[in-house]
Structure 1
Amino acid sequence: MSARGVGSRSSRAASIRHELGHPVVDADGHWIETAPVLKAFFLDFVKDLGGADLAARFEAAGGLDYDDTVLRPWSALSEADRRKTWATRPPWWTLPAANTLDRATAHLPRLLYERLDDFGIDFAVLYPSRTLTTPAIREAELRQIACRALNVYHHELYGGYTDRMTPVALVPTHTPDEAIAELEHAVGELGMKAIMINGLVHRPIGASAAGSGGAASPGRDVPNWGSGSGERIDALGLDSEYDYDPFWRRCVELRVAPASHTPGMGWGSRRSVSSYVSNHIGSFGASMEAFCRSIFLGGVTRRFPELSFGLLEGGVGWACELYAGLVSHWEKRSAEAIHHLDPARIDTDELLDLFTRYGDERMQRDGAAIAESFRRLEPEPPELDEYKACAIEKKQDLHDLFVPRFYFGCEADDGTVAFAFDERVNPMGARLRAMFSSDMGHWDVPDMTGILEEAYELVEKGLLDEAAFREFVCVNPVRFYTSVNPDFFAGTRVEAEAKRIVAEESA
């Protein structure tokens, strides 16, 4: 194939970028791992770190190759075995193919660097594809070494293009200690400035935690509510297994804003054994909502007001609903309002009088039992204020602890971006911080040169005005990455505009 036209700057996206008059920052693009090259580097890295025996263990486990560790094992199962074990259908045919130039672009940093102007993108923060779930590997030693090897590899691979792009460091979070260790290595030693954390950790509960493999059925002493065995989702905030405050504190000290890109497939209602489409739709939104809700109600944004959180590829529609729900629940279930629902406040005499006057024959006949049922109060809850960790004193606190602290990655074809900027609907006139995320390198981007063009349809269709579009593609990505590191864009094409935005935020 001829390379003529590569980096030509003649695309409509390039024209749109020129007319905008401000930079476009991609908060979430993707590289595609080149398996043979990565495997060779990885095995050498593991041998240097732990010797040939450790490298052999990795090879026996399938290494890091997605096809070998996920797709081929699933495909080898019979239909009966898939249903017997309920083997969730994994993603398939998820990378560019017919568009060979785009496929190569996601593999080759120099080619991506040359084409960014064609995409109308000034700077891109890049995330993994086939190794996206590496921080979720269940075996601790394999997980930690794999993340470290990938961070070293991608730091070297993208090191020559820092004025236009930066790779994220993969930070496993099964424990705060392992998270801090990799954070200090990736940021403190390698000098990486963007991180991707595992926002959801699957932990055993009930019978599984006791070592029975989850086969036991709940007894009569277990409430008939939720799961009694199996796995639970630990979203690192509310009800977490560990205190993650030391990790959040280290993020602040090392000046990195944590972003979660954890998939939401394979748990909950997204476990189809036959349909990736069924599993994929809304999956990142489900994952991001769980993480965001846990971080907020766990009081993390109260204790670390300088820290921002990125929630990627899930859009922002769910965030509008979550924010509104947090406000409306607080209005009716705050530490003060909750007393209105105290069963002890029922006037049983008045209630029974009304049952007698308005109840049917059955209600009147069972009056004594009804009276007793209302006098038999619910058990006293262990805590009345479920917003206690947030230390909410007034309604505005909900806005201040949510809106400037969470940033929502939205793809170019996502019309619900408009919800984020609708001050008429969002409580307290909030503008949620949606940020442009290309997702280039994946199946839902058929042509990389069309990403910005598709995003700009939000303006052409009247869903966003030019000011809101600037917030979406420039201001909010800059806000997120500079929230704890004002120098994030130093030495990049975006440096001057980033300085202006940081100055405006500080004023």
Structure 2
Amino acid sequence: MSFNGHTIIDGDGHVIEDYAAIVRYMPKPYQDKFDTHTFYNLFPPLDHLHSSNLHDFQPGAFNKVGPDGWVVFLDDVGIDSTVLYTTLGLSLGKIVSRDWAIDVARAYNDWFYHTYMTRSPRFKGMALVPLQEPRAAVEELRRAVEELGMCGAMLPSTGVQAHLGDQRYWPIYEEADRLGCAIGIHGGAHENLGLDDLSPYAPVHALGHPFGQMISFGGLVFNGVFDKFPHVKFGFMEGGV
């Protein structure tokens, strides 16, 4: 597919997670406890702002489509392929348990691979990696790129334990530099950005994404990450550009 001779690639699509399917890729204790009063969400809430407003959407917006729906959309608008990101997993950085972060990131990546990437080569993936444990994040990034064929990893712009330029995350960038892969920084959890009592939701959405991106960008630039790891393909997604 092309437009005026150019191939069109969507660089920031999103999947709607199927928790019941994802949990099947987690260790057995998670599977046994899933859908009980103590365990029914794999990720923390994005923030209190998404759920405390009444959203008025156009008919058909935010339908819970899967891979088949995505193929229909790509064909309809003439897009060749799409790089797909998590939706609910944008709050990955808020997970407190390191073990949980490691297990849910790996399970999401396996679910995405088997649900989307084996369905069509037009689906490209951005992995989740557990920033809570950088050594495990390095291993998961390597697995996602070399074994699953993903483009790289998504790092949340907010909710993480330290700004993304902090040296604790440099092993992740070092591995991404070795792999020559992408790191996509994505917002979505808009707490603690000075917007906590702002209503209605529209300005929260409009400001929260670029605010988080600017903070992340500043941390990376002024700590020399782009210079030290020049082969990483950094992207800043949904910043309003």
TM-score by length of 2: 0.84
Supply the AA of the counterpart residue of 2:22.
Answer: F
- Say yes or no: does 1:244 pair with 2:224: no
| Cα distance, 1:117 vs structure 2 | 2.8
Change over 3 Å in CA distance of 1:23–1:271 after alignment to 2: same
Change over 3 Å in CA distance of 1:190–1:271 after alignment to 2: same
Match of 1:90 in 2: 50
Matches within 5 A, 1:265-304: 265-272=190-197, 275-304=200-229
- Say yes or no: does 1:120 pair with 2:78: yes
| Aligned equivalent of 2:128, options 158, 163, 170 | 170
Instruction: Give the secondary-structure state (helix, strand or coil) at the position aligned to 1:27.
Output: strand
Instruction: Give the secondary-structure state (helix, strand or coil) at the position aligned to 2:138.
Output: helix
- Cα deviation, 1:180-220, whole Å, max 9, x if unaligned, reads 122123223323223212344544xxxxxxxxxxxxxxxxx
- Say yes or no: does 1:63 pair with 2:46: no
Count of residues in correspondence between the two structures: 239
Change over 3 Å in CA distance of 1:196–1:130 after alignment to 2: same
- Say yes or no: does 1:28 pair with 2:5: no
Instruction: Give the secondary-structure state (helix, strand or coil) at the position aligned to 1:90.
Output: coil
Does the 8 Å contact 1:272/1:279 carry over to 2? no
Does the 8 Å contact 2:98/2:130 carry over to 1? no
- Say yes or no: does 1:99 pair with 2:32: no
- Cα deviation, 1:437-471, whole Å, max 9, x if unaligned, reads xxxxxxxxxxxxxxxxxxxxxxxxxxxxxxxxxxx
Gap runs ≥5 in structure 2:
none
Supply the AA of the counterpart residue of 1:190.
Answer: L
Matches within 5 A, 1:434-453: none
Gap runs ≥5 in structure 1:
1-13, 72-86, 204-233, 317-507
| Aligned equivalent of 2:69, options 104, 111, 120 | 111
More helix by share: 1
Rounded to whole Å, the distance in 1 between the matches of 2:192 and 2:82 is 31
- Say yes or no: does 1:43 pair with 2:23: yes
Rounded to whole Å, the distance in 2 between the matches of 1:159 and 1:304 is 28
Matches within 5 A, 1:346-385: none
- Say yes or no: does 1:136 pair with 2:94: yes
Rounded to whole Å, the distance in 2 between the matches of 1:244 and 1:165 is 28
| Cα distance, 1:155 vs structure 2 | 0.5
Supply the AA of the counterpart residue of 2:123.
Answer: M
Does the 8 Å contact 1:135/1:170 carry over to 2? no
Supply the AA of the counterpart residue of 1:27.
Answer: G
Match of 2:238 in 1: 313
Does the 8 Å contact 2:126/2:184 carry over to 1? no
Rounded to whole Å, the distance in 2 between the matches of 1:281 and 1:132 is 17
Match of 1:52 in 2: 29
More strand by share: 2
Rounded to whole Å, the distance in 1 between the matches of 2:141 and 2:93 is 12
| Aligned equivalent of 2:180, options 255, 260, 278 | 255
Supply the AA of the counterpart residue of 1:90.
Answer: H
Instruction: Give the secondary-structure state (helix, strand or coil) at the position aligned to 2:63.
Output: helix
Instruction: Give the secondary-structure state (helix, strand or coil) at the position aligned to 2:11.
Output: strand
Rounded to whole Å, the distance in 1 between the matches of 2:73 and 2:142 is 33
Rounded to whole Å, the distance in 2 between the matches of 1:138 and 1:265 is 18
| Cα distance, 1:274 vs structure 2 | 5.1
Does the 8 Å contact 2:158/2:190 carry over to 1? no
Supply the AA of the counterpart residue of 1:42.
Answer: I
Change over 3 Å in CA distance of 1:296–1:63 after alignment to 2: same
Does the 8 Å contact 1:29/1:125 carry over to 2? yes
Rounded to whole Å, the distance in 1 between the matches of 2:54 and 2:152 is 28
Rounded to whole Å, the distance in 2 between the matches of 1:122 and 1:150 is 24
Rounded to whole Å, the distance in 2 between the matches of 1:274 and 1:174 is 31
Change over 3 Å in CA distance of 1:119–1:174 after alignment to 2: same
